[in-house]
């Protein structure tokens, strides 16, 4: 700090003393702040009133220091006096420099912003060419001090030129006095020089200005795990900051969490270091487990028919046997079904057991009934007339010779004639005729007509007959 030149001595004439803490203006900064919402029509509150009502910033990180335009655009921006904490001052001076082809001031609306009180007023001592480049101005409030930490002291309006040009409208010292800064409101005002000067970029990055922080710095942690050395108020003013204190070396900030995928398809949210240490696959910072982003492992899925398919659990329409299970060998419980045997018999058993027993499995969901689903076997059926027919046992009206018997050659006994006297009998062997006491005629096969010879009649007399009865 230093004693003020004549232009700031006006402060002593219009202001009394003030609190020493708020009048220590060390470490302040002149900041350029562009507000794109302001249009070329003065609002009811006035352009300066609009800043305090709608566009006031509370932290140096909120300053907007760049204007982009392809051609020619009316633009409004503020010169702010920024401090790390609330201050009071009653005068200030500064100037601007820039290339003439990037910016032209609108002198009709460029104006000082006096403290926001009921009847703001003040004195301005501009240089002869103000607000042109290399010029400057000095302000002294006559209605009370500027009070706060990011206060508008001047509204700059004009035209930003595009057309491929770019540059910076730089805030700096007053071109007339070679000085810049603030005076406090003490009886004998003292000038304080700024820590930094900002600037507005036209189609280019502007100059960022930050007031000297009043407070000790410490570690401020951010969600991505980074650590910045910031004053505690600045850290706590940032919605993403969390004050840790101490230093950033070693980094005290926790790593950000993200979804960690495990081989079994589980997902847990944890820092990447923990994920890696536990054998997981980190999906990235701030990724979530809902919905689960992890690839799901396949496993054996058992269906009621005993079929096994390799599927993920979500796709399994049967019973999932678990991660890492396989279908070879088949782990699924095999259902019973009807097993048909060659003799037409049926047993309920699994397909494998049926095959091993020589049967034919009828499929999932079948059973032996009743009714029996198995086809009865065929065999030769011998009829009394010696005819042979292939049929099932139940359909045979003769003598069924058994499963798989055939009619070629004909296995059936052929009928022959046995004559007992004149009576004719059908027999199937000579022995059978002998047992009857008859005469066997193997070449005869039917008794219709009767092939047996009639019984011979012996000659006799009536006397012989009568003798039989005496």
CA 263 to chain centroid, in Å, comes to 17
User: Which is it for strands 66-67 and 378-382: parallel, antiparallel or unpaired?
Assistant: unpaired
Using CA atoms, how far apart are residues 92 and 31, in angstroms rounded to an integer? 13
β-sheet bridge partners, residue 389:
381
Name which of 91, 120, 108, 191 is nearest 155 in CA terms: 108
Compute the mean pLDDT over every residue in the chain, rounded to the nearest whole number. Answer: 89
Cα distance from N-terminal residue to C-terminal residue, the chain? 189
Q: Which residues contact 320 (CB under 8 A, 6 or more apart)?
A: 299, 300, 301, 311, 313
pLDDT, one tens digit per residue, over 423-465 is: 999 999 899 999 999 999 998 889 999 999 987 766 666 666 6
Peptide bond into 18 cis (omega under 30): no
pLDDT at 389: 94
pLDDT at 95: 98
Q: Does the pLDDT value for residue 7 go beyond 60?
A: no
Q: Is the whole model's pTM more than 0.85, yes or no?
A: no
pLDDT at 468: 64
pLDDT, one tens digit per residue, over 86-110 is: 999 999 999 999 999 999 999 889 9
* 14: confidence class by pLDDT, cuts 50, 70, 90: very low
pLDDT at 469: 65
The single residue listed with the structure tokens 């005729």 is: 433
Is residue 407 within 8 Å of 379, Cβ to Cβ? no
Name which of 103, 122, 101 is nearest 111 in CA terms: 122
pLDDT, one tens digit per residue, over 177-228 is: 999 999 998 877 788 999 999 999 999 999 999 998 666 678 999 999 999 9
Read off the tokens for 159.
């035209």
Higher pLDDT, residue 435 or 7: 435
CATH of 2-202, one of 2.40.128.630, 1.10.1060.10, 2.60.40.680, 3.40.47.10: 2.60.40.680
β-sheet bridge partners, residue 74:
159
Over residues 220-238, the mean pLDDT reads 90
pLDDT at 215: 65
Q: Does the pLDDT value for residue 82 go beyond 90?
A: yes
Q: Does the pLDDT value for residue 10 go beyond 60?
A: no
> Would you tell me how many other CB atoms lie within 10 Å of the CB of residue 435?
11
Over residues 379-403, the mean pLDDT reads 92
Domain ranges in the chain with CATH number 2.60.40.680: 2-202
Over residues 46-59, the mean pLDDT reads 91
* 2: confidence class by pLDDT, cuts 50, 70, 90: very low
Over residues 364-385, the mean pLDDT reads 92
β-sheet bridge partners, residue 218:
230
List helix spans (H) across 3-121. Answer: 6-14, 46-50
Q: Which range, of 8-17, 147-156, 157-166, averages the lowest pLDDT?
A: 8-17
pLDDT at 458: 65
* 252: confidence class by pLDDT, cuts 50, 70, 90: very high
């Amino acid at each position: 700090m230093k004693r003020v030149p004549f232009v700031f001595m006006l402060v002593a004439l219009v202001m009394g003393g003030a609190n020493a803490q708020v009048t220590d203006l060390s470490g302040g900064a002149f900041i350029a702040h562009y507000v794109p919402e302001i249009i070329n029509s003065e609002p009811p509150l006035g352009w300066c009133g609009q800043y305090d009502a709608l566009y006031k910033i509370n932290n140096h990180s909120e300053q907007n220091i760049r204007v982009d335009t392809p051609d020619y655009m009316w633009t409004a921006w503020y010169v702010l006096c920024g401090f790390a904490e609330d201050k009071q001052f009653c005068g200030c001076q500064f100037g601007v420099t820039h290339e003439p082809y990037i910016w032209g001031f609108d002198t009709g609306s460029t104006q000082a912003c006096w403290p926001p009180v009921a009847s703001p007023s003040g004195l301005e001592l501009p240089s002869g060419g103000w607000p042109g480049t290399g010029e400057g101005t000095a302000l002294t409030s006559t209605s009370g001090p500027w009070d706060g930490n990011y206060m508008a002291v001047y509204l700059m309006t004009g035209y930003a030129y595009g057309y491929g040009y770019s540059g910076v409208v730089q805030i700096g010292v007053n071109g007339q006095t070679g000085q810049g800064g603030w005076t406090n409101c003490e009886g004998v005002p003292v000038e304080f020089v700024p820590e930094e000067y900002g600037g507005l970029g036209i189609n280019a990055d502007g100059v960022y200005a930050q007031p000297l922080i009043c407070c000790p710095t410490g570690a401020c942690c951010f969600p991505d795990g980074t650590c910045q050395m910031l004053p505690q108020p600045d850290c706590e003013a940032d919605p993403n900051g969390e004050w840790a204190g101490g230093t950033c070396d070693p980094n005290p900030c926790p790593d950000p969490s993200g979804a960690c995928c495990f081989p079994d398809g589980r997902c847990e949210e944890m820092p990447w270091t923990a994920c890696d240490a536990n054998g997981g696959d980190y999906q990235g910072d701030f990724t979530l487990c809902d919905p689960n982003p992890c690839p799901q492992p396949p496993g054996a899925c058992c269906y009621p028919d005993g079929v096994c398919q390799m599927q993920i659990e979500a796709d399994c329409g049967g019973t999932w046997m678990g991660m890492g299970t396989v279908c070879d060998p088949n782990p699924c419980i095999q259902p019973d079904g009807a097993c048909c045997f060659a003799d037409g018999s049926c047993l309920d058993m699994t397909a494998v057991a049926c095959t091993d027993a020589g049967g034919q499995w009828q499929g999932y969901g079948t059973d032996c009934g009743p009714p029996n689903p198995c086809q009865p076997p065929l065999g030769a059926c011998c009829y009394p007339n010696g005819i042979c027919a292939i049929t099932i046992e139940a359909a045979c009206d003769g003598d069924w010779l058994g499963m798989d018997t055939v009619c070629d050659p004909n296995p059936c006994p052929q009928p022959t004639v046995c004559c007992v006297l004149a009576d004719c009998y059908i027999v199937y062997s000579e022995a059978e005729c002998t047992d009857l006491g008859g005469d066997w005629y193997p070449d005869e096969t039917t008794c219709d007509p009767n092939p047996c010879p009639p019984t011979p009649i012996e000659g006799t007399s009536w006397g012989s007959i009568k003798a039989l009865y005496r």
